[in-house]
Structure 1
């Protein structure tokens, strides 16, 4: 098993990261152990050690570099890579690298946390395998892995269905009671603009909508072009003809948010915008596929809350707002 206890994770995303590391750890235990045993037999013969490391590359899944270190973390081989030996790495001192500073005392092989590699400047992980000869530790076998080259777990990470509150910039929070909401152009025509935005979601394929009340604009993501957002400025929002700019699309059957909840969500945004002149809504967003409402307030605090909880005035969220 991996050094990491998956049950100790505190979020679904962190659990997925730990499962990835546990899978990779278990995948590498046997091949790293086998290569280390072979290296021990030629440890003091650098040309033979370099040759063996090159031969071993295909035997270690997804590895980018293999190399040998003495007991103090100094490299006693070249780097073996798919492009050949990197001779200049011989003699390199790796003792201060993150993967050497946190070696497990219980395991013969330690898989590091992700770090930024010096050579490629990309997120990487390293497996360090102890090398023994006649039951004596003679050094370490290192294997570097570029995160881009690693397999990923099949399940797709999704946002957890729970209310999350994130504090914002302390500089803004510290002066929140010295500010007051200023009426924006969007505020002046909110009862005309919200129905336009509702129409875009209901009839024109907008699946993610973010309304920036204070700056009188909105950003939208469309089913027909999900990889790019489009910016609608005040003049666009104030003109109902903007709906003609986008083709009709049936409301997606896969949507988590029912059609009849779109307008109540927008009306609740309006309520939070006007409820208090000091703590007021600056921006609100809705994604119909993950069912999460995003809120950003004048204190720079943010909330991410499931739609049903957002619309239920007796929920924990509204207890905190009241």
Structure 2
């Protein structure tokens, strides 16, 4: 799946803001630490002690260390648990953070990478150590992304149709297959009104009908972290609504309550419209307003509900 230009732009802008915030947070303590390290660069014991002291000013850092101008480590790794000596004299020139140094800046904040030991997303700040304008080496500080005090600004996905191609092996055999009526297909006119009622009146904010396997998966406002599996027999019985408490329809839902039934009815249309290309599963999320579709060719589509109902988008032209 290739992200759209709008998605790329929005996501990259969010990442850039997070990186700028982190860069500004680290710049002053890294510069101060580098100046102190420059004074004791030729004395390993003093250098290690300086790093251990300066690490206290960077509580989010995993390790701090010093390298010479050729990227060979001159110190132990300073950590909040004490000094770790196994990386002394290590050549770090091939690590991603040393490959990304910005010659125009005294400090470079690397792109995220997977750490060698923990194999977790990490970043490294690399500060030049200079004396009288001469480059003596580098101060490095490693950070595990999970420990950083980022703003955690929420990424809002752009609301536009997305198509995702599925398994090529399934697509290649699509003309050799034919839809076979499932148990849910035979009871669809009983199932749709019940699911519509659950979503409109009983706090189901995400519902997915699996036509081929005759079931639904639903997420409830009362228990949003767990999905429930409902068989077609359970969905045929209006008494299922008694199992879920009544909830007023959420005011912040993007899908208007009156659109739920037309969306489900359109699922039915797509299920029976063609014997070769047919809907295997369809979902609605009332909060992000996205309709999800999975077809017999294993292709998936994610489309805003209003475009889906209007039938005037590129999705419907392809259909």
Give TM-score scaled by structure 2 length: 0.92
Range that drifts further, 8-17 or 56-65? 8-17
Q: 2:252 aligns to what?
A: 254
Q: 1:135 aligns with which of 106, 115, 133?
A: 133
| 1:201-216 alignment, distance < 5 Å | 201-216=199-214
On the 8 A contact 2:7/2:157 being kept in 1, the answer is no
Q: Deviations over 1:22-53 (max 9, x none)?
A: 21122222221221122111111111111111
Range that drifts further, 119-128 or 218-227? 119-128
On the 8 A contact 1:9/1:15 being kept in 2, the answer is no
Range that drifts further, 157-166 or 284-293? 157-166
Q: Deviations over 1:209-228 (max 9, x none)?
A: 11111111111110001111
Q: 2:264 aligns to what?
A: 266
On the 8 A contact 1:213/1:281 being kept in 2, the answer is yes
On the 8 A contact 2:6/2:158 being kept in 1, the answer is no
For 1:89, what is the secondary structure of its paired residue? coil
Counterpart-to-counterpart distance in 2, 1:46 and 1:251: 66
Q: 2:228 aligns to what?
A: 230
Q: 1:35 aligns to what?
A: 33
Q: 1:221 aligns with which of 202, 219, 222?
A: 219
On the 8 A contact 1:28/1:61 being kept in 2, the answer is no
Range that drifts further, 93-102 or 248-257? 93-102
For 2:8, what is the secondary structure of its paired residue? coil
- State the 1:60 CA deviation: 3.0
Counterpart-to-counterpart distance in 2, 1:194 and 1:115: 47
For 2:125, what is the secondary structure of its paired residue? strand
For 1:88, what is the secondary structure of its paired residue? coil
CA 15–173 in structure 1, closer or farther in 2 if over 3 Å, else same: farther
CA 285–14 in structure 1, closer or farther in 2 if over 3 Å, else same: farther
Runs of 4+ in structure 1 off by over 3 angstroms are: none
Q: 1:239 aligns to what?
A: 237
Q: 2:305 aligns to what?
A: 307
Q: 2:103 aligns with which of 97, 102, 105?
A: 105
Q: Deviations over 1:278-316 (max 9, x none)?
A: 222111111111111111112222211111111002223
Give TM-score scaled by structure 1 length: 0.92
- State the 1:145 CA deviation: 0.8
Counterpart-to-counterpart distance in 1, 2:189 and 2:6: 48
| 1:67-86 alignment, distance < 5 Å | 67-86=65-84
Q: 2:22 aligns to what?
A: 24
On the 8 A contact 2:204/2:221 being kept in 1, the answer is yes
On the 8 A contact 2:63/2:77 being kept in 1, the answer is yes
Q: Deviations over 1:141-162 (max 9, x none)?
A: 1111111111232642222111
For 2:86, what is the secondary structure of its paired residue? helix
